[in-house]
Amino acid sequence: MNKKIIVYIPFNNMDVLGKGHIALTKEWIDKRISIFMNYTLKSLRNQTNQNFIAYVVYHIKSKKIIEQTLAKYPPLPYNIRFIPNDNYEVKVKEIIKNYKYFYELHLYSDDMYHKTFVKQLQNYKHKSQTAVLICQNGYIYDSINNRLAKYFNFSSSFNCFVYNVKDYIKGHRHKVVGWVTAIRLPHEKLEKPNYINHCHDTNSAFYFEVERKRNKIKDVWNNNQGATALFGEEITNEDEKKKILKDYIGNE
């Protein structure tokens, strides 16, 4: 299909739990860019198909701090860029104008996708009425204590909006109120475990220990009828854990 994939990665342009002011500080930005470089960037570089653009979108007020922090790292790949929030729509419209379909893939700046995910999307043929591709199956990873478990979310943040380019340029946007409502749109489910939801010391709303205590179930990717989110089997074998993580962030 004639499509363009753009990965939308919010950095500090959203007010999460009323803590948006914290995300504008140098301390927060330094820490979260470090996490991005060590996890999310590696996941993007590890994609077997590099035919995508990734925009890490930051609040315009933090432009100077962002640029100063990025200068401490090697240059980013050509297809991965930090941009201010007021420039995202302009960039997208420029890039997609010669395509028929636009896939807007969503990824937070501390999380990861399986190395084949972009390839899967490039090869995917969606139905004519489909508005969103839903990713339900994945993993939850605690990088502080190196804990990994299977995870299920019936309407996760790791989803892909499908747009007709002409409609998008005219102003059409899929309306959701939080990711929980995305599944109410005409959708298709992608069954493979394609994401890692990352827990670390600067998380705002997602914690491994909380999820582990809330619910735990075997065969979580299949035994999940009626659930919104489920914590599954924890991966305790170190070789298996390393193999899984390699599929997301490679050998770097």
Task: Answer yes or no: are the C-beta atoms of 185 and 176 closer than 8 Å.
Answer: yes
Could you say which DSSP state residue 170 is in?
Answer: H
Domain 3-249's class?
A: alpha beta
CA-based max dimension of the chain: 51
Q: What is the pTM for the complete model shown?
A: 0.93
Residue 96 token pair: 């997609």
Q: Tens digit of pLDDT per residue, the chain (252 long)?
A: 799 999 999 999 876 545 658 889 999 999 999 999 999 999 999 999 999 999 999 999 999 999 999 999 999 999 999 999 999 999 999 999 999 999 999 999 999 999 999 999 999 999 999 999 999 999 999 998 899 999 999 999 999 999 999 999 999 999 998 888 999 999 999 999 999 999 887 665 666 777 777 666 788 999 888 889 888 999 999 999 999 999 999 985
Residue 159: phi and psi, rounded to 5, are -120, 170
Q: Are 169 and 97 in contact (CB under 8 A)?
A: yes
Structure tokens that stand for 182 in this block: 């995305």
